[in-house]
Amino acid sequence: MIVVLLTLAAGAVGALLRYGATHLAGRSRSRLPWAVFAVNAVGCAIGGTVLGLVDAGAIGPDVRLIVLGGLAGGLTTFSTWSTETIQLAMSRRWPLALVNVLANLVVGVAAVVVADLVVRALA
């Protein structure tokens, strides 16, 4: 039961951090949605860090669930990223929509890989 409560709390912290990032970045219809890009990249780096720490035996499955499912899950947002991409496309800003898709995928995967490799190298 404690793992469930800690996962809920970590998810709330992640969601509040995402809200703060969105609030700080502001809303502009003319540019890339940087806040979502940033929180997704950070969430992916958290994911890679968790993978490396699990592999190194530094954390167990409960901590993995709390940090990855709670904190990173609350921080990152696939639904908002998808919606903002569609909004860019529907407003005929195809280049920005394409950049949004490619940048989130490439940077997200790279963040997981780099964070995992750094943790493994330090472990």
Question: What tens digit of pLDDT does each residue of 13-60 get?
Answer: 999 999 999 999 876 666 888 999 999 999 999 999 999 999 999 999
Q: Is 92 left (phi over 0), alpha (psi -120 to 50) or beta?
A: left
Question: What tens digit of pLDDT does each residue of 65-94 get?
Answer: 999 999 999 999 899 999 999 999 999 999
pTM: 0.89
In this prediction, residue 47 carries a pLDDT of 95
Q: How far is CA 44 from the centre of its chain?
A: 5
Residue 20 token pair = 């703060």
